[in-house]
Structure 1
Amino acid sequence: MKVKEIIKVLDQITGGRVVTDTSDIFTDKNPFVVMKSSDIPGKSVVETPGLVFGDPEAEVHKVAVTMTLTEGNIELAGATGVDAIVAHHPIADAANSGGVTLKNYLGLYNIAVFELHEAFHGLHPGISYIHGHRAFRVDIRYGGIPGNIMYVGKALDDVRTLGDMLSRLNRMMDMEKELEIMGKEKSILGCGEIMDSATAVGGEIYLGMPDSPVNTILHIFPHTGFTAEHLAKAKNEHPEIDTVLATISRVKRDSELVKKAEELRLNFICGNSHALEIFENGLPLAYALRHYLPEDVEIVIFRERITSTPLSKFGSKDIQEYAKYITENYLINR
């Protein structure tokens, strides 16, 4: 198996959305080549679904699927014999490689990297299914904004209330085991204040009660730019909507989106956070690769779990003394 063959496989999985000719990056031929910018000088990035770095002729024996490429991913790949990393999110030079150039870091370990992101969005109904509805409308550019994803769906037969949605989500995510892992880590480290990205942001009802009926769901992703005005517009387009579901990111209880939902007499529930997208998008992608790649190509999943620990309880006594020594002798301007 060669890197160039993985390009073809990803293009097949996405239905022809991958960049197979780099000259297409500088044209309007591929609508999934998108610039993302907050107008912060020098910080924009162009999504280029497909091969970002690597020799097309290089052999591949082990592939890792990840959400966001980081230096941690690169080091783990280098240490475990991974030849290629398929990342969901867009990749930017230095930003995704520990502050050094992708060429130097990835070239050191002979790792090829691919990205998909918008080219993968909208291909499957996974996130709606996980949260208990079947989308009958999917718009990945709602309001003309690339990446502003909106689903409208009907609740599945076994999901009749907001409580049913939460129960289904916790079961899908095996949240009981995640909480057990977090509990053991707290016990082993002797620190009850540790929190992690898998359990700190769980499903939560903002408007409504666990027994509030659910039928038609407006599924939104607040971090993509979905506004209160978009919510009102969607409700006007689909008057039958009774519930707003926010996933991947969420809003504060006093946000304009929640206020608008309350004004429109809608339920409002928050589901999975971005920290769990590896299950929603990464796992199906990995199984799709498994289907197309030869059996002798190993596939692994890189999951990042972030923890939060109080400063005074982070690390060993020796490393804490080291940090204090460095701070007192080099980082305090006297």
Structure 2
Amino acid sequence: MKTVQDVLNALDTLTGGRVVQSLNDITSGEHPFVLTKSSNIPGKGILETPGLVYGKLDTPIKKIAVTMTMTENSIELAGATDVDAIIAHHPIAEGANSGGVILKNYLDLYNVTAFELHEAFHGLHPGISYLHGHEVYRKEISYGNLEGNVLFVGSTLPEVNTLGDVLDRLDKLMGLQTEEQLLMLEKDISQSPSMIETSTVTRGHIILGGETTPVNNIMHIFPHTGFTAEHLRKAYHEHPEADTVLASISRVNEDHELVTTAKELGLNFIVGNSHVLEILENGLPLAYALDTLLPDVEVVIFREKVTSTALHEVGDTALKKYAKTMSDEFLVKNKVMEM
């Protein structure tokens, strides 16, 4: 029987020793992947502690779920399907990742252990660049001395010659045609014609250049990590052979400073996979690694999908009546009278 300790050892093995092993790793300030993330919004900062977040080392583990961001949906699904541990890529915060309630209470309710990795997992494999059609010859995970600011520089694979090839490759590998078919079925069954879903509406597209524009050397950036126009100028100065900027996981609009800077430098600009597909980019490789290192443990993927639907298309007649009654009788009428 495998235990939480075995899972922790497996995570330490596949990250090359990056997980937290003791309280001293957290308090000493010396562990390179114990990182404080804060926008200085009062009370909303977080400390990343890669490895075991909550649980006992001797707890038996039969089933693991790999997910991107642990939510109350994840915890409820774990409790309903006999999952013993959730391994989240993104850092876990009290309340924020546990339905607004105390993390310990919620996890204890279903006997679920929680792990996180995030920055400790970044840069361990070349999968994201491979999916986007290039082979990395330079990799930075703290570009410009900014923790978590990732930059890849790579040359395109033999089968990728144009910007259009990059998009076609992503559509095929990410199974976006299947996602479109599933969305069409859900819209039809739920009678919600306005429904849209993130993996299809945020698919890759070209901002500077065209489908037939040649591409040879790519600067692959991730705007949400803090990559700025100044970083782009610096990277291009270091790699004048680059002809294309590729932004993935997070996206930018046409008027963003990164795009205007790329245009000024004479570079193409293409947007790749959004953050919603990282469960396939990073989650699947992690899950397969755990499946190999822990052959006696069942590994599943928790994938959350987010949809947007017009208000008046949500629910059947009875549910709509319920929501309207609660709104009219308890949320609106009393407050309007008080005003």
1:28 Cα shift?
A: 2.6
Question: Could you tell me the TM-score, scaled by structure 2's length?
Answer: 0.97
Aligned equivalent of 2:323: 323
Q: Matches of 1:83 and 1:237 in 2, distance apart? A: 47
Aligned equivalent of 2:283: 282
Amino acid at match of 1:313: E
Would you say 1:56 and 2:66 are equivalent positions? no
- Partner SS state of residue 304, structure 1: coil
Aligned equivalent of 1:294: 295
Q: Matches of 1:29 and 1:4 in 2, distance apart? A: 23
Deviations 1:100-131 (A, max 9, x none): 11110001111001000000001000100000
Q: Matches of 1:308 and 1:141 in 2, distance apart? A: 35
Aligned equivalent of 2:125: 124
What is the 5 A alignment of 1:143-182?
Answer: 143-182=144-183
Aligned equivalent of 1:268: 269
- Partner SS state of residue 200, structure 2: coil
Aligned equivalent of 2:23: 22
Amino acid at match of 1:304: E
Q: Matches of 1:275 and 1:253 in 2, distance apart? A: 21
Aligned equivalent of 1:231: 232
Identity %: 57
Structure 1 residue ranges, 4+ long, deviating more than 3 angstroms after superposition: none
Q: Matches of 2:254 and 2:56 in 1, distance apart? A: 48
1:258 Cα shift?
A: 0.4
Aligned equivalent of 1:184: 185
Aligned equivalent of 1:70: 71
Deviations 1:229-255 (A, max 9, x none): 110110000000100000000001111
Q: Matches of 2:147 and 2:324 in 1, distance apart? A: 46
- Partner SS state of residue 198, structure 1: helix
1:55 Cα shift?
A: 1.2
Deviations 1:19-39 (A, max 9, x none): 011221011331000000000
What is the 5 A alignment of 1:87-126?
Answer: 87-126=88-127
Q: Is the 2:216–2:243 contact (alpha carbons within 8 Å) kept by the matching residues of 1?
A: yes
Deviations 1:159-213 (A, max 9, x none): 0000110111111011111110011111111222100011110110000010101
Question: Could you tell me the TM-score, scaled by structure 1's length?
Answer: 0.99
Q: Matches of 1:20 and 1:175 in 2, distance apart? A: 40
Q: What runs of 5+ residues in structure 2 fail to find an aligned partner? A: none
Q: Matches of 1:262 and 1:207 in 2, distance apart? A: 7
Q: What runs of 5+ residues in structure 1 fail to find an aligned partner? A: none
- Partner SS state of residue 214, structure 1: coil
Amino acid at match of 2:306: I
Q: Matches of 1:112 and 1:191 in 2, distance apart? A: 37
Aligned equivalent of 1:198: 199
- Partner SS state of residue 234, structure 1: helix
Q: Matches of 2:103 and 2:232 in 1, distance apart? A: 40
